Amino acid sequence: MTKVRLDQGHVTLDKALPFDLCNERGIILLKNGFVIRSKSQLDRLIEQGTYFEDINDEFSKKLPPAAEKISVFLRVKEVSAEFISLIDKQNPDYAGTLDIAGKIQELCELDSDAVLANIQLLTNGKYSLRHSFETALLTEILLRNLNRPVEIRRYAISGALTMNIGMLELQDVLYSQKIELTLEQKRTMISHPLIATEALRKAGIDHSAWLEVVGHHHEMIDGSGYPIKLYKNELSIESQVVSLADRYCAMISKREYRAGLLPNIAANDLMNRQSATIDPLIAAAFAKEVGAYPPGTVVTLANSEMGVVVNRLSNASHPLVRSLRSSSGIRYPEPPKRNTREQAFAIKEALNPDSAKDFDLSILWSPLLVGKND
């Protein structure tokens, strides 16, 4: 019976281990049934090298007959397509976004790293809807870190998904527009949170957390936002998180006429130049969950390999990378894992996501075994 090295996705936080965990010498560290409570604890186990008996031989025997393997990375793209089909039609189904929000929460629970990677690597659909979906993904990740209630998070995610319904057409125009906004475009931009809120009310949406997120997602805690110029004590945590997620996703997204900012540059701008507009607690959550090199970031390493960040570890500055191409330019058939804490594999620089567009990136995040509902 072979040993498997523990990796992200092999266990679920707050659920009993289905196997013993041991070190390389076979000494048991954690027994079957132990509950790992925090991601930092899981990260430490992964970094130090922890093993369990072959999951295919033993663990699968304990799975219910209806279990199936899913790729969280690819499933995010499927949910994105479902969201687009709800909104991109003559009579949008705004209420249906609550179901999409629930699916986003489920996927983040399974593998938040694979979800986060899609913020940089997702390419399907119109920019306007893709941007809202990416913002929704980051909203859930940040609000989970801040321990906000599950139901409130779900309404906030729906708010992120529908925040721009008052300017979708304009947003797609601006995707390729190089010149300064016209006066009419500026008016639409400033008023779109109010337009969207009214459209949702007419559609029967009346949950306060949802409507607050939509109406306030461009407000800033220092009063410099719009359309009402509210201050921190007038803004919910959810609205503030969506505001930050919206800005970050917009900054790293490319346009027809320019590339998106690299994640480390965008994060530095937000955490420094724009720090007066971000609550310190939310900034801390962002630094921990996203940091300079979030999953999905294409990088070169000190040994000249090119790879993609796949997992956040306990030290945000040293994530786990899987190398796509060797220093000599040869593709790896099975991308090896590189711990960037090691000097030879330290991150040298971040690259444009298009640098990896010819690779099948879905193989970088292992499919997970999950139970199907009857």
Q: Rounded CA gap, 154 and 157, in Å?
A: 5
284 lies in a domain?
yes
Domain boundary among the residues 289, 310, 337 is at: 289
- CA quadruple 336, 342, 343, 346: dihedral, nearest 10: 60
Confidence at residue 49, expressed as pLDDT on a 0 to 100 scale: 81
Confidence at residue 346, expressed as pLDDT on a 0 to 100 scale: 97
Q: Are residues 284 and 138 in the same domain?
A: yes
Percent of all residues in the chain with a pLDDT value above 90, rounded to a whole number: 74
Domain boundary among the residues 18, 49, 68 is at: 68
Nearest to residue 316, comparing CAs of 343, 288, 346? 288
- Pick the more confident residue, 25 or 214: 214
Return the half-sphere exposure (C-beta side, CA atoms, 13 A cut-off) of residue 369: 14
Q: Are residues 189 and 123 in the same domain?
A: yes
| Tokens 């220093």 -> residue | 327
Q: Are residues 322 and 308 in the same domain?
A: yes
Taking residues 155-175, what's their average pLDDT?
96
Which pTM does this prediction carry? 0.85
In the predicted structure, residue 140 carries a pLDDT above the cut 80: yes
Q: Are residues 165 and 55 in the same domain?
A: no
Q: Please check whether residue 80 is in contact with residue 124, taking contact to mean a CB–CB distance below 8 angstroms.
A: yes
**Residues forming a β-bridge with 255:** 258
Q: What is the CATH number of the domain that holds 144?
A: 1.10.3210.10
Q: Please check whether residue 368 is in contact with residue 9, taking contact to mean a CB–CB distance below 8 angstroms.
A: yes
Predicted confidence (pLDDT) per residue in 235-293, tens digit: 999 999 999 999 999 999 998 888 899 999 999 999 999 999 999 999 999 999 999 99
Domain boundary among the residues 255, 289, 323 is at: 289
Nearest to residue 12, comparing CAs of 45, 48, 37, 41? 37
Q: Are residues 83 and 103 in the same domain?
A: yes
Cis peptide before 227 (omega within 30 of 0): yes
Q: How many domains does the chain have?
A: 3
Q: Rounded CA gap, 242 and 262, in Å?
A: 20
Q: Are residues 79 and 54 in the same domain?
A: no
The amino acid at residue 214 is V
Q: Rounded CA gap, 277 and 133, in Å?
A: 23
Q: Are residues 324 and 285 in the same domain?
A: no
Per DSSP, the three-state class of 347 is: strand
338 lies in a domain?
yes
Q: Rounded CA gap, 201 and 204, in Å?
A: 5
In the predicted structure, residue 351 carries a pLDDT above the cut 70: yes
374 lies in a domain?
no
Predicted confidence (pLDDT) per residue in 32-50, tens digit: 888 888 776 787 788 778 8
Nearest to residue 134, comparing CAs of 29, 263, 19? 263
Instruction: Look at 128-142, 144-158, 179-193, 307-321 and tell me which has the smallest mean pLDDT.
Output: 307-321
Q: Are residues 152 and 269 in the same domain?
A: yes
Q: Are residues 96 and 217 in the same domain?
A: yes
Q: Rounded CA gap, 251 and 246, in Å?
A: 9
- Pick the more confident residue, 64 or 242: 242
Q: Please check whether residue 316 is in contact with residue 371, taking contact to mean a CB–CB distance below 8 angstroms.
A: no
Is the Cα torsion angle 98, 100, 104, 106 positive or negative in sign? Answer: positive
Q: Which domain holds residue 191?
A: 71-289
Interacting residues of 111 by C-beta distance below 8 A, sequence separation 6+: 8, 9, 72, 73, 365, 368
Distance (Å) of CA 294 to CA 125, 149, 348, 360? 23, 24, 15, 19
Confidence label for 132 from pLDDT (cuts 50, 70 and 90):
very high
Q: Where are the alpha helices (DSSP H) in 88-182?
A: 97-121, 127-145, 150-162, 168-174
Long-range contacts of 89-98 (CB under 8 A, 24+ apart): 92/165, 92/203, 94/162, 94/165, 94/199, 94/200, 94/203, 94/205, 95/203, 95/204, 95/205, 97/157, 97/158, 97/161, 97/162, 98/154, 98/155, 98/158
Interacting residues of 48 by C-beta distance below 8 A, sequence separation 6+: 23
Q: Rounded CA gap, 270 and 217, in Å?
A: 16
Q: Rounded CA gap, 364 and 310, in Å?
A: 7
Predicted confidence (pLDDT) per residue in 67-96, tens digit: 678 899 999 999 999 999 999 999 999 999
Confidence label for 1 from pLDDT (cuts 50, 70 and 90):
low
